[in-house]
């Protein structure tokens, strides 16, 4: 068994900006309509640098996303980025959505973040949004690879950066900064003696330079 340190605590949520923040009339109208249609969606301003955020859960995020893309007020026809975040007490998947006026996309564009809050840390999952924005394919795979969040109905959900034999998800808050010894062994990673020693100590194991540093690992 590995050594267990103090459990991390969730970071405090940033405060709302004083007096709130005013977005464009179209964004305000769109958010108001979303809140009216989906009673369990929450609004979160002040935490995103340049866009308001709508918070949904895995059970309703696809319906909310579909409305955001197809509504007549401000159709969000482009997904700029997908990010997975470990908040310690929950996971979040952030879809940064935008309205692009075709064909002129060079100017400013309206932005809204759609955040999926996932409370299940043992088996976190949420529906894929690939059917709405096909460009999220590789980005959802990256979140799955590094954070361990599954995207239900994704047509090709597999690791994209790490080896398929890799065991953990290194962007989770509880993943050791130096990595885990068993994970490195599984993929026969190239490690030097200092790294191996640190990993075995983290796992509560005794370091043996004769056994633990095979010739292929040594510089």
Q: How confident is the model over 188-200, as pLDDT tens digits?
A: 666 777 777 787 7
> How confident is the model over 144-171, as pLDDT tens digits?
999 999 999 999 999 999 888 788 899 9
For CA atoms 186, 190, 193, 194, give the dihedral sign: negative
Question: How far from the centroid of its chain's Cα atoms is residue 177's Cα?
Answer: 18
Domain boundaries, the chain: 25-152, 181-212
- Note the pTM of the prediction, 2 decimals: 0.78
User: Cβ(207)–Cβ(196) under 8 Å?
Assistant: yes
CA distances from 201 to 8, 60, 105 (A): 20, 44, 53
Rounded to 5°, angle at Cα 33 from 27 and 37? 145
**Confidence at residue 122, expressed as pLDDT on a 0 to 100 scale:** 92
CATH of 25-152, one of 3.20.20.140, 1.20.1730.10, 3.40.50.2020, 3.30.460.80: 3.30.460.80
What's the mean pLDDT in 67-88?
A: 96
């Amino acid at each position: 068994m590995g050594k267990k340190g103090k459990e991390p605590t969730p970071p405090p949520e940033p405060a709302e900006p004083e007096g709130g923040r005013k977005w464009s009339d179209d964004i305000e109208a769109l958010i108001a309509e979303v809140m009216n249609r989906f009673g369990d969606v929450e609004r979160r301003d002040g935490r995103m640098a340049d866009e308001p955020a709508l918070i949904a859960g895995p059970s309703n995020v696809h319906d909310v996303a579909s409305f955001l893309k197809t509504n007549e007020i401000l159709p969000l026809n482009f997904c700029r980025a997908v990010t997975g975040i470990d908040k310690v007490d929950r996971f979040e998947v952030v879809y940064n959505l935008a309205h692009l006026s075709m064909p002129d996309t060079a100017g400013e564009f309206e932005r809204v973040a759609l955040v999926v809050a996932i409370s299940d840390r043992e088996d976190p999952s949420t529906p894929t949004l690939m059917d709405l924005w096909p460009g999220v394919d590789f980005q959802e795979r990256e979140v799955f690879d590094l954070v361990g969040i599954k995207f239900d109905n994704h047509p090709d959900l597999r690791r994209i950066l790490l080896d398929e034999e890799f065991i953990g998800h290194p962007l989770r808050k509880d993943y050791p900064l130096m990595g885990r010894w068993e994970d490195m062994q599984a993929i026969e990673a190239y490690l030097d003696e200092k790294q191996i020693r640190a990993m075995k100590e983290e796992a509560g194991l005794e370091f043996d330079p004769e056994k633990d540093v095979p010739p292929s690992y040594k510089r």
